[in-house]
């Protein structure tokens, strides 16, 4: 793991030389701060903690919005009481409760 972190540190140094501070995104920060080595040592395989499930949920939310809203946001302007946030959050909550087994 230390050899891997050394390789990652070298990558990070080259990346910062090429792109500067503006090139340090959240994921690049993980590389350069030795967080990867820490998490590998404490949690093992990090595949369980990836963001693919969250990204898939956002795809469902996008489809939900497109299928359940009218073009132009009919009746959702200022002063109207129709909200798209509440049904979207309810959809996300139901999905998460179902996946965790707490929906029952």
pLDDT of 31-60, one tens digit each? Answer: 888 888 888 888 887 777 677 777 888 888
Residues 68 and 94 in one domain: yes
Whole-angstrom Cα Rg for the chain: 21
- Residues 63-79 pLDDT 10s: 887 777 665 455 555 56
Structure pTM? 0.46
- Beta carbons within 8 Å of 57's beta carbon, 6+ residues apart: 92, 95, 96
**Taking 80 as the threshold, does the pLDDT of residue 104 lie above it?**
no
Residues 7 and 35 in one domain: yes
Q: Which domain holds residue 23?
A: 2-48
Residues 39 and 57 in one domain: no
Backbone angles phi, psi at 79, to 5 degrees: 95, -20
- Beta carbons within 8 Å of 7's beta carbon, 6+ residues apart: none
Q: Report pLDDT for 15.
A: 93
Total number of domains constituting the chain: 2
Residues 62 and 86 in one domain: yes
């Amino acid at each position: 793991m230390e050899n891997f972190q050394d390789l990652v540190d070298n990558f990070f140094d080259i990346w910062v030389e090429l792109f500067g501070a503006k090139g340090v995104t959240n994921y690049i920060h993980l590389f350069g701060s030795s967080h990867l080595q820490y998490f590998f040592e404490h949690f093992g395989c990090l595949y369980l903690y990836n963001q693919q499930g969250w990204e898939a949920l956002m795809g469902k939310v996008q489809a939900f919005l497109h299928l359940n809203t009218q073009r132009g946001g009919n009746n959702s302007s200022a002063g109207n009481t129709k909200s798209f946030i509440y049904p979207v959050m309810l959809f996300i909550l139901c999905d998460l409760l179902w996946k965790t087994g707490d929906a029952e």
